[in-house]
Structure 1
Amino acid sequence: MRYAVFTSSANGLILADKIRNNMSAVVDIYCHENMPPREDVQSYSRLSTLLKDIFNKYSGLIFIMATGIVVRTIAPLLESKLTDPAVVVMDEKGQNIISLLSGHVGGANDLTLKLARKLGGNPVITTATDINYLVAPDVVASKLGLYPVSKEGIQVLNSALLRGETVEYFVDEETPCSRSYITKLRKNGIAAHLYSKAELERVIKTTKGYKAIITKHSLPADESVLYLKPRKLVAGIGCRKGTSSVLIMKALTSACGAIGWGPERVDELASSVVKANEQGLLSVGKKLNKQVSFCENDALEKQIEAYGLQESSFVKQTIGVGNVSEAAAYCCVAHGVLALPKTKYEKVAVALVWEK
């Protein structure tokens, strides 16, 4: 994951450092230009101007300032609960940590709880299902890399849960990793059924009750059904010349394991056009039956600039661009969220990006 922290005071900067030092994620810190400059902190003059450029480039935005300032600043940028990033607000002592926006799909509630544990603060969460200890389907979607369809269906099913009704979960057996979804649901205390597409169509038409269905297909619309569609997951891969398929597969397996999946969950592999003839990489793509996309340097450079990606001077001298794994993964989605930052293995670097 990749987060941004915003502050404008000395105490806020101390807290921002604490957040960065205690999070197992990439954390960029932005501080108002009235503070003394630091090499590891990016400065801004107007928060509203900064956010126009970076609002959707992070998994979550953490503001160390008054809630009113944040509300007024982000209001013009909001689009949908399905696409807006998680937004968390806290005071400069970290006493009260507020889940402000995208609590479920964006993961702001989970981020708030995590920050509260790290900082010893009080988590402030107001979503009805959470305070009633109910597992909402859109929270399940967020945890499992799924996209809820439709937005209206989220409210219908969550309201049903609050009335004490039950939501049944089904998994389409034709959806990749279908049995893994069953296992993950059960680990979250949710019983699920594995059905064929035809069986699901019959269930939708002939049975009553509320249903959450994990499927890659477009099935009949029904107000009592929420579809959970798998998000695209791209693995960006950089490797040394001549790296074997064994080492690449080992690195990819470890990287996917770090986010709770196997390499079969990946939808596409991506790298630099310089690696287009790497037999090890091509072999892994063939073994997994996944497309391998090779990106031109100018396309990689655009992603590096757009997402503010860190560059390696050695890699830049070698192939002409300083970031391959993260930039290549971002090239393959319309808009991406970093699932795993560039992670180095033996002769291989892997980054994972979810399509938002």
Structure 2
Amino acid sequence: MTNTTAKIALVAITKHGVTQMLNLAEKMPESFVMVSEKFSDRITNIANNKHAYTGALKAQIKDLFNDYDQIVFFISIGAVIRLVAPYLKSKDEDPGILIVDDNAEFVIPVLSGHVGGANDYAIQIANLLNATAVVTTASDVGKTIPVDILGRELGWKIEAPKINITRVSAHVVNEEAIAFIQESGNKNWWTRSTPLPRNIHLFTKFEDVDLNTHKAILWVTHRDIEQTLWQNLEERLVVYRPPAD
């Protein structure tokens, strides 16, 4: 589900790119539109907030990064990568970066697909443009648990070192045995239209899990977890903290 309060910028620098961008801008009136000065006459009458910049586009990128949650470029992937590279920090901080080709056939989330929400926006924008969303995030392609954002819409807070999240995510997408323990929180956490993958084994309490047969543990709980347990499980544990009942 996309964030309806997200600030979205649409950026185009070519004749055909501007045409496709204006089509999307009409369908997303809340979005901000940016074009080079040579196309300023084409955005004069649109309802969106807008700006026609002078000089090089690279001078605009810092402000776009600071001011917007999602930036949709109607520009080639290579050019966009070179433009945004100096401003990248981490997937927890960077805005979602999406690319739409000049024919509006494909919408490609290239940065912050999961945590930043670009994957969801790619699907939404593709629907608006009658295009194809090209999502490459393994958990989305494999229709499995997105470890780093699971339960986010339910108010769950993830609790684990980053290395644990990385290691456990790999176990999940590699279809290894995963123990999913839910002792608290909303039970409606699986929102995909496909069945829960068979490598995800459900439990209602930690004590029922055979730690020797499961590569990783996803644990939804209000329990206090002792440091010794974190150490014993090494990099196999990710904990989610739901809101208090």
Tell me if TM exceeds 0.5: yes
Corresponding residue for residue 225 of structure 1: 237
Matched, 1:30 2:55: no
Identity %: 23
Q: Are 2:109 and 2:135, in contact at CA under 8 Å, matched by a contact in 1?
A: yes
Q: Please name the residue that 1:7 is paired with.
A: 12
Aligned partner of 1:213 in structure 2 is 219
Contact 1:216 1:230 in 2 (8 A): yes
216 and 111 in structure 1: CA distance in 2 versus 1, 3 angstrom threshold: farther
SS in 1 for 2:133: strand
SS of equivalent to 1:138: coil
Inter-CA distance 186–193: structure 2 relative to 1 (3 Å threshold): farther
In structure 1, stretches of 5+ residues that fail to align are 232-263, 266-356
Note if 1:152 corresponds to 2:163: yes
Q: Distance in 1 between matches of 2:208 and 2:59?
A: 50
How far 1:73 sits from its partner (Å)?
1.0
Which residue in the other structure is 1:91 paired with? 101
Q: How does 1:137-176 map to 2 (within 5 A)?
A: 137-144=147-154, 146=156, 148=158, 149-171=160-182, 173=184
Corresponding position of 1:182: 187
Report the CA distance between 1:140 and its aligned residue.
2.6
Q: Which runs of 5+ in 2 are unaligned?
A: 1-5
Query: Structure 1 CA distance, aligned partners of 2:10 and 2:86?
Result: 19
**Cα distance, 1:213 vs. partner?**
3.4
Does the Cα contact within 8 Å between 2:182 and 2:220 map onto a contact in 1?
yes
The alignment's C-alpha RMSD in Å is 3.3
1:16 aligns with 2:26: no
* Mapping 1:284-295, distance limit 5 Å: none
TM-score calculated relative to the size of structure 2: 0.73
- Which secondary structure state, in structure 2, belongs to the residue aligned with residue 137 of structure 1? coil
Question: How far apart are residue 78 of structure 1 and its match?
Answer: 1.0
2:144 matched residue in structure 1: 134
Deviations 1:242-284 (A, max 9, x none): xxxxxxxxxxxxxxxxxxxxxx99xxxxxxxxxxxxxxxxxxx
* AA in 2 matched with 1:58: Y
Are 2:74 and 1:64 aligned? yes
Give the CA deviation at 1:91. Answer: 1.1
**How many pairs align?**
219
Matched AA of 2:237: V
1:6–1:16: structure 2 CA closer, same or farther, 3 Å change rule?
A: same
Letter in 2 for 1:110: D
Q: Is the 8 A contact 1:3 1:61 kept in 2?
A: yes
